[in-house]
């Protein structure tokens, strides 16, 4: 395996092959969350776990945080300057986006974050732009492709092993179980066929979205990793490799392979027919809110509009996925 303990954040290029032009460092968009500041008297803030950003930068990316509440035109113009998208962990996804009512154990949701990530994920998959989803991120990939989620594993799948090893009771880097990885998958190139992972989620993949493939399965049978084989790099994992990348070369390798895919000529690898094929499978994103937080038109098949939890607040449920 390639040694990834290099300080790529201080290098002008991702790679510098002998006698060839340097490989440029790609611009990776990371959508934020939002919260009301305790320090600054309730001031509304955009937030993101620094570990994602530092991991991406250390492995050669040029990370840029994408705020919420942007108009679709602003968001699209931002997207078109990117080389890749990373979807991080965070709140639960509103189940109305996959045609279900809210489960009593659903955690807090943010319709504006759902809107932003749905658009970015849909555009990235449609374009064939490299995309990596972590925890909530893999769930978002599945929902964008028409899949569904278990809203609460403990109550809906009580025979499964424990997956909600949340801080502060447990360390974020605590190894909790193994994942078996399909040997012919992109993920196996980074992690091998068996990988030990941490686990900080109470939701999980249920019905698989169109065009996706399950490439990683936990010991209890729960899907833990997805890929879309028809595009250069579209991978999602249910665990948090960013927390393991400091000490685990395989986890760092997953991020580096994503960064390298984003720096490559991925546009040339996407067939001319692919965008129309993707749209025929998934349609347009069905969204409840626009960038101003105003309810927008929605498909009747999705049922009633979601009841959004106030950002920075708490829902009646105590569960949620980990950021």
* From 103, 135, 195, 322, the catalytic residue: 135
The DSSP H or E segment spanning 131 is strand 131-134
Active site residue 135: yes
**Taking a C-beta distance cutoff of 8 angstroms, is the pair 177, 219 a contact?**
yes
- The three state secondary structure string of 40-73 is CCCCEEEECCHHHHHHHHHCCCEEEEECCCCCHH
Instruction: Report how far residue 291's alpha carbon sits from residue 288's, in angstroms, rounded to the nearest whole number.
Output: 10
The SS3 of residue 176 is coil
* From 240, 243, 308, 322, the catalytic residue: 240
Q: How many residues are recorded in the chain?
A: 323
CB-based burial, 279-295: b 16+ in 10 Å, e otherwise? eeebeebbbbbebeeee
22 CB-near residues (< 8 Å, 6+ apart): 12, 13, 14, 15, 16
- CA 268 to chain CA centroid, Å, is 24
The SS3 of residue 15 is strand
DSSP E strands: which ranges in 202-293? 204-205, 213-218, 223-227, 234-237
Active site residue 91: no
The SS3 of residue 194 is strand
- 289: number of CA atoms within 13 Å, CB side? 22
Give the residue numbers marked as catalytic: 135, 240, 242
């Amino acid at each position: 395996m390639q040694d990834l303990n290099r300080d790529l954040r201080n290098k002008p290029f991702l790679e510098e092959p002998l006698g060839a032009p340097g490989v440029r460092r790609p611009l990776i968009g990371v959508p934020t969350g939002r919260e009301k500041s305790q320090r600054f008297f309730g001031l509304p803030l955009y937030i993101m776990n620094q570990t994602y950003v530092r991991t991406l930068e250390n492995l050669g990316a040029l990370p840029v945080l994408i705020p919420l509440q942007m108009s679709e035109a602003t968001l699209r113009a931002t997207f078109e300057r990117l080389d890749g998208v990373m979807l991080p962990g965070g709140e639960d996804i509103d189940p109305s986006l996959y045609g279900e009512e809210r489960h009593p154990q659903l955690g807090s949701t943010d319709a504006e974050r759902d809107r932003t990530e749905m658009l970015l994920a849909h555009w990235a998959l449609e374009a064939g732009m490299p995309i990596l989803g972590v925890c909530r991120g893999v769930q978002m990939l599945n929902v964008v492709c028409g899949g569904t989620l278990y809203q609460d594993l403990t109550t809906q799948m009580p025979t499964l092993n424990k997956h909600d090893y949340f801080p502060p009771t447990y360390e974020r880097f605590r190894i909790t179980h193994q994942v078996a990885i399909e040997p012919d998958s992109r993920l196996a190139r980074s992690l091998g066929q068996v990988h030990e992972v941490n686990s900080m989620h109470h939701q999980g993949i249920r019905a698989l979205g169109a065009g996706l493939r399950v490439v990683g399965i936990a010991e209890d049978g729960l899907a833990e990793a997805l890929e879309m084989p028809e595009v250069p790099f579209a991978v999602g994992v249910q665990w948090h490799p960013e927390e393991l990348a400091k000490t685990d070369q395989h986890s760092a390798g997953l991020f580096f392979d994503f960064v390298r895919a984003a720096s490559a000529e991925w546009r040339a690898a996407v067939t001319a027919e692919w965008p129309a094929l993707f749209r025929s499978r998934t349609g347009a994103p069905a969204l409840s809110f626009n960038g101003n937080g105003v309810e927008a038109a929605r498909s009747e098949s999705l049922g009633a509009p979601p009841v959004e939890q106030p950002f920075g607040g708490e829902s009646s449920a105590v569960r949620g996925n980990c950021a």
